[in-house]
Amino acid sequence: MDRSRWIIIRQAIHSEARRLGRLPRAQFSDALIVKLLLWTVAHDRPLCWACCREHYHGPMRPRRLPSVSQFTRRVKTNRVQQLLQRVHDRLTRGGQSASTSASASWLAFDGKSLPVGGASKDPDARRGYAIGGFAKGYKLHAAVDAKRRIINWCVRPLPEHEATTAMHLLDRLPLHHRSLVLADGNYDHAKLHHAKLHQAVADRGGRLLCPPRGVSRSRKRLRAMPAARRESLAVWAQCPNVARWVHRDRC
């Protein structure tokens, strides 16, 4: 993680930790626990990795480190989880009022597989399709604004369809009139229960633009699907070059 980005995150952590208040008789502050956690996540390492001093350099050099048992126990506490939520809200809220036009220009959905080891006994992990084949684990679902800022996210079992999860993410997204929502082909499907994502975005004032997955030639099926998906199919059929050019903006 580069220094400038870490400074912004560290300032947000300390500011929200002061508002939350200090935990009496705590050997390690909530702010330190959150910083260790985010540093570990940024390097895609397990929680035990955070408790080795040799893994810290550059902008992150804590004076003291908790044991593995202390760290994992503190991460699960309500105070640390509340501080994490406060930091998340602060960082995603920052700059939105000054960039309303930018956030209204487009949003993007995407998902990333988070596989676990095949021998894992995690009861919540499920088998599903990941990059390169099937795996066991979870999937991170995220909504990103025009400034590449994650404004809403969730982690679900790996086999859960991305379009289904996006329906739940919509409730907390700042969609405005004529907002454009970009996504890959996984968010479009000829089946009607997945095509409802187009209509859900339209009901909130936006339009979903994603490469079509299956174009039905049946008039009966075309009449049955939501009107917003028919509009999307028409855009890809009549102006494919423009649609691809706009869709590339999400990359």
Q: Is the pLDDT of residue 29 over 70?
A: yes
Residue 93 has φ and ψ, to the nearest 5°, of -80, -25
Mean pLDDT of 28-39: 94
Q: What is the mean pLDDT of the chain?
A: 84
Taking only the tens place, the pLDDT of each residue in 193-212 is 556 888 888 888 888 888 88
Q: Give the pLDDT score at 114.
A: 87
The DSSP result for 104-146, as a single string, is HHEEEEEEEEEEE-TT---TT-EEEEETTEEEEEEEEEEEEET
Of 90-99, 124-133, 232-241, where does the model show the most confidence? 232-241
Give the model's confidence band at 69: pLDDT under 50 very low, under 70 low, under 90 confident, else very high: very high
pTM for this prediction: 0.70
Q: Please give the residue that has the higher pLDDT: either 150 or 48.
A: 48
Q: Give the pLDDT score at 193.
A: 52
Q: Give the pLDDT score at 191.
A: 61
Dump strand ranges (E) for the chain. Answer: 106-116, 126-130, 133-145, 150-157, 179-182, 206-209
Give the model's confidence band at 99: pLDDT under 50 very low, under 70 low, under 90 confident, else very high: very low
The domain limits of the chain are 3-93, 97-250
Q: Give the pLDDT score at 103.
A: 42
Taking only the tens place, the pLDDT of each residue in 135-182 is 889 999 999 888 788 888 889 999 888 888 998 888 877 676 568 899
Give the model's confidence band at 189: pLDDT under 50 very low, under 70 low, under 90 confident, else very high: low
Q: Which residues pair with 153 in a beta bridge?
A: 142
Give the model's confidence band at 101: pLDDT under 50 very low, under 70 low, under 90 confident, else very high: very low
Report the alpha-carbon distance of residue 177 to residue 179 in Å, rounded: 6
The rounded percent of the chain whose pLDDT value lies above 70 is 89
